[in-house]
Amino acid sequence: MIHEVIMTADRIAEFQKIIEQTLAELKVSEIYLKDATKPIEPSVALGRLTRMEAIGEKGVNEARQTEVKRRIERLGNALDRINKGEYGNCIRCGKEIPYERLLAVPEALICVPCAEKKRR
């Protein structure tokens, strides 16, 4: 069972630091992915298989880029919740989200019991 810890100012500051660091890392990835998802020009002299591999890799990078953008948005929203004093509380039941869950998913909006109910 997950041990719940009261969300203190120190814990909030810890999560703010984690979120800001993760955002910085994701923004670096976003720059790389922007370059990696540029169209592959037909004039590029690639062999048939190499060209197909490049197109496949571009597709994988596009999917990753989409996920990075979504996570950046969710983490930005988490920072907004910190600034509003709403961070760490489940938006469904209002209970505190366990510390361990927030460590795993700092942008979490709902607690595990509410997430499990949602899946049913």
Residue 120 is assigned to a structural domain of this protein: no
Which of 24, 29, 15 is closest to 104 using CA atoms?
A: 15
Q: How many domains does the chain have?
A: 1
Provide the residue range defining the domain that includes 68.
9-87
pTM above 0.85, yes or no: no
Buried/exposed code over 41-57 (b: 16+ C-beta within 10 A; e: otherwise): eeeeeeeeeeeeeeeee
55 within domain boundaries: yes
pLDDT value of residue 1: 46
Each residue's pLDDT tens digit in the chain (120 positions)?
455 557 889 999 999 999 999 999 999 999 989 888 888 776 655 666 677 787 788 889 999 999 999 999 999 999 999 999 999 999 999 999 999 999 999 999 999 899 888 776
